[in-house]
Amino acid sequence: MNRIRKGDQVIIIAGADKGKKGEVVRVAGDKVVVQNVNIIKRHTKPNPQANVAGGIIEREAPIHVSNVMLFNQASGKGERIGFKVLEDGRKVRVFRSSNEAVDA
C-alpha cells in the first residue's frame, strides 16, 4: 500500500517548487506527477501520423515521492502518514500526528 495515491492533495517539501500544493495526477513507482508543479518545457517535433503539433510544450515532470507530503486539511500543513489495521481487517492510512484516518 502506497503512502501517496492518485487524487491525493500534497504539498512539495523540497526543491524549486517548495511550498506549492497540488493534486497527484499519476503515481509511477517512487515518482509522482503533481498538477501544475515542476513544469518543464519540451521541444517536440510535429508528427502528422499521431496528430501531434510541434513546438514548445509545457508539462509536469515527475517528482520523487520523498519530496512530497500529504496535505492535512484540518491542520493546514503537510503531515507524515502511517498505517493502521481496523477491527474489520481493513488497512487504512492515518496521519501520524492526530491518528486520524485519511481514507474514509
pLDDT in tens, 57-99: 999 999 999 999 999 999 999 999 999 999 999 999 999 998 8
Which amino acid type is present at position 2? N
Instruction: Report DSSP letters for 56-80, one per residue.
Output: EEEEEPPEEGGGEEEEETTTTEEE-
Confidence (pTM): 0.84
Please give the Cα distance from 35 to 88 (Å, whole number): 35
Please give the Cα distance from 102 to 64 (Å, whole number): 21
Instruction: Band the pLDDT of 103: cuts 50, 70, 90.
Output: confident
Are the beta carbons of 70 and 102 closer than 8 angstroms?
A: yes
Chain mean position to CA 77? 15
Instruction: Band the pLDDT of 8: cuts 50, 70, 90.
Output: very high
**What pLDDT digit, counting tens, does each position of 21-51 carry?**
999 999 999 999 999 999 999 999 999 999 9
